[in-house]
A and B are shown apart, each in its own frame.
Chain A
């Protein structure tokens, strides 16, 4: 999978971020290739979220350079990151409870049909496409049901379905398998494989070691704002990763 000749989808060089006197990130370099699944691990406060937010355009880095598909990019807002093809599935899922599943999937990029001067929502097409996406996710979710009435797994499916709409080249998932049922975890991991097959690069931010080892090609461990390890998954073990996360082992 890791082809040395391929252009990385995402390439970070020397990324650093300070919040006042607090150094949240220091000189992080990383590359993600198309179709690669990278696990980003680390304890709370290790800098994972800050790194994700920089890639997603929520924060601007204090230092360093971001290159996307070979071009230097500067994101001022999350919309800018989405425009080049970076999608994020947030841990709190960012869903509007009062809208239906289909409406949430298409939020901000509704399908419309023109009636003379008016562009009206194409409810049918959106519901059909949403049902298709839920089908791929094996999620028993009706496009017309309100998100308010849904289970945690269904909500997760809605949030993930949203990233499938656009032709995202990099999908970052923040704890996608936390707080959902065992069966749903299998489904989410299945989806990750599906995305990978289509050449989408994935970054999985997770605390769940089994999930990371089940789907990731490579694992990156963060500790105290620095990248401490970046290893192919078959060259490491859950024990080593745990040691790196806790600091029992400084670097690998």
Chain B
């Protein structure tokens, strides 16, 4: 029964898959990226305004407004879950952030005296420590997102509720809380730090919109986490075979909770950025954005069955949606067609992937 085990193994029977059948080339993300490139060329010839600097800035800014949340949802989708509460989360975080900012910037209020004082003219409010109010209010906004994410994660991972139902409930809970705290009126960032806030959320650096810069940084961080950390490996394993993940000793509960916290934080950050661009956080802000976000993730190649997805796909999905919207406007097509077309593209993207995987 002894065998010559030390000689190197050969691969006579097992062929190596061709480079074009592996990695990004064999993924839905690759096909959609190709479709996007074709679409950009078509847009260039269809409208002379498309590739102007102003329009490009517009496109970059607009897709960045849902792309950060899409990165977060992609995490949940890779584990085989979903987060429907992102739209409401955006609104609630933005609202809390701007309410805290306004509250801390009001001179007579209990907390306000620590942070602001009146200038000599008796009208202008000055910050005691510039930027501190901004920091605290953004942290407050992210803090509520963290709590909502923990609740989502606890219900899904520990109590074993379905992600769909849990986050559907959270969608309603968080939206309702937004109406409660603002009395349905929404809120506005105010006080001495408001200018910093606008600069950091809707400004630009050398012509590049700030939200786009945040997006690129977060997407790179996500790529590293997903493909080069144990946590990322576990996220993929969870989506591929949850039972196997559990048997091999992966801390399934912890990974799931972390994923829903990341998702909620991404949505919260996204909401705060949007409120900077809007100049307010109305109570109906980002209503039904969860559908755009999930659509973008799915178009970009995230598989709702779990196990597949990534930051590039999330961004490509968002860009595609935005280019189509922008293109329809430039082509003077009624904007009502946009939603119909988005639906068609979702189905097409998934269909092409299905046909491709049957062919191989």
Chain A residues with Cβ under 8 A from B16's Cβ? 142
CB <8 Å contact, A94 and B247: yes
Chain B residues with Cβ under 8 A from A110's Cβ? 230, 233
Contacts A94-B248, A108-B250 given; does A190 touch B1 at CB 8 Å: yes
Q: Which A residues from 9 to 37 make CB contacts under 8 A with B?
A: none
Q: Which A residues from 101 to 136 make CB contacts under 8 A with B?
A: 103, 107-110, 112, 118-121, 123, 134-136
Q: With an 8 A cutoff between CB atoms, is A96 at the interface? A: yes
B199-228 near A? 1/0 per residue, CB < 8 Å: 000000000000000000000000010011
Which of A90, A120, A136, A189 lies in contact with B247, CB distance below 8 A?
A90
Chain B residues with Cβ under 8 A from A215's Cβ? 1
Q: With an 8 A cutoff between CB atoms, is B260 at the interface? A: no
Which of B14, B245, B307 lies in contact with A107, CB distance below 8 A?
B245
Chain A residues with Cβ under 8 A from B246's Cβ? 78
Chain A residues with Cβ under 8 A from B52's Cβ? none
CB <8 Å contact, B240 and A99: yes
Chain A residues with Cβ under 8 A from B11's Cβ? 140, 142
CB <8 Å contact, A136 and B5: yes
Q: With an 8 A cutoff between CB atoms, is A164 at the interface? A: no
Output the nearest chain B residue to A189 by Cβ-Cβ distance: B1
Q: With an 8 A cutoff between CB atoms, is B237 at the interface? A: yes
Candidate in B5, B239, B308 with the most chain A CB atoms within 10 angstroms: B5
Contacts A110-B233, A140-B14 given; does A94 touch B243 at CB 8 Å: yes
Which of A103, A134, A187, A193 lies in contact with B233, CB distance below 8 A?
A103
Contacts A121-B229, A140-B12 given; does A190 touch B244 at CB 8 Å: no
CB <8 Å contact, A135 and B236: no
Complex Cα spacing A94 to B240, Å: 10
Complex Cα spacing A215 to B248, Å: 27
- Number of residues from B at the complex interface, CB < 8 A: 35
Q: With an 8 A cutoff between CB atoms, is A76 at the interface? A: no
CB <8 Å contact, B224 and A193: no
CB <8 Å contact, A97 and B9: no
B2-13 near A? 1/0 per residue, CB < 8 Å: 110100111111
Q: With an 8 A cutoff between CB atoms, is B249 at the interface? A: yes
Q: With an 8 A cutoff between CB atoms, is B241 at the interface? A: yes
Chain B residues with Cβ under 8 A from A209's Cβ? none
Output the nearest chain B residue to A149 by Cβ-Cβ distance: B17
Contacts A135-B8, A190-B5 given; does A120 touch B228 at CB 8 Å: yes
B242-264 near A? 1/0 per residue, CB < 8 Å: 01111111100000000000000
Q: With an 8 A cutoff between CB atoms, is A98 at the interface? A: yes
Q: With an 8 A cutoff between CB atoms, is A194 at the interface? A: yes
CB <8 Å contact, A96 and B229: no
CB <8 Å contact, B3 and A140: no
B162-199 near A? 1/0 per residue, CB < 8 Å: 00000000000000000000000000000000000000
Q: With an 8 A cutoff between CB atoms, is A139 at the interface? A: yes
Min C-beta distance of B137 to chain A, whole Å: 28
Chain A residues with Cβ under 8 A from B237's Cβ? 96, 99, 103, 107
Q: With an 8 A cutoff between CB atoms, is A82 at the interface? A: yes
Q: With an 8 A cutoff between CB atoms, is A240 at the interface? A: no
Q: With an 8 A cutoff between CB atoms, is A252 at the interface? A: no
Q: With an 8 A cutoff between CB atoms, is A95 at the interface? A: yes
Contacts A78-B249, A107-B248, A120-B228 given; does A97 touch B13 at CB 8 Å: no
Min C-beta distance of B313 to chain A, whole Å: 14
CB <8 Å contact, B233 and A121: yes
Chain A residues with Cβ under 8 A from B227's Cβ? 121
Candidate in B8, B9, B239 with the most chain A CB atoms within 10 angstroms: B9
CB <8 Å contact, A138 and B236: no
Complex Cα spacing A118 to B231, Å: 12
Contacts A107-B245, A189-B1 given; does A96 touch B14 at CB 8 Å: no
Output the nearest chain B residue to A159 by Cβ-Cβ distance: B244
Complex Cα spacing A82 to B249, Å: 8
Which of B9, B224, B241 lies in contact with A139, CB distance below 8 A?
B9
Chain A residues with Cβ under 8 A from B8's Cβ? 135
Chain B residues with Cβ under 8 A from A50's Cβ? none
B147-166 near A? 1/0 per residue, CB < 8 Å: 00000000000000000000
Q: With an 8 A cutoff between CB atoms, is A250 at the interface? A: no
Complex Cα spacing A136 to B234, Å: 27
Chain A residues with Cβ under 8 A from B245's Cβ? 96, 107-108
Contacts A120-B229, A135-B5, A189-B1 given; does A95 touch B14 at CB 8 Å: no
Q: Which B residues from 1 to 47 make CB contacts under 8 A with A?
A: 1-3, 5, 8-14, 16-17
Min C-beta distance of B15 to chain A, whole Å: 10
Candidate in A96, A110, A119, A139 with the most chain B CB atoms within 10 angstroms: A96
The 5 closest A-B pairs by CB, nearest first: A96-B240, A98-B307, A94-B244, A98-B240, A108-B248
Contact sample, A vs B, 22 pairs, CB 8 Å cutoff: A78-B247, A90-B247, A96-B244, A96-B307, A98-B307, A99-B233, A99-B237, A107-B233, A107-B248, A108-B248, A108-B249, A108-B250, A120-B224, A121-B227, A121-B228, A121-B233, A136-B5, A139-B9, A140-B10, A154-B14, A162-B248, A187-B3
Residue positions of A touching B, CB distance < 8 A: 78-79, 82, 88, 90, 93-99, 103, 107-110, 112, 118-121, 123, 134-136, 138-142, 145, 149, 154, 162, 187, 189-190, 193-194, 214-215
- Additional pairs, 6, CB under 8 Å, beyond known A88-B247, A97-B241: A79-B249, A93-B244, A94-B243, A107-B233, A135-B5, A145-B17
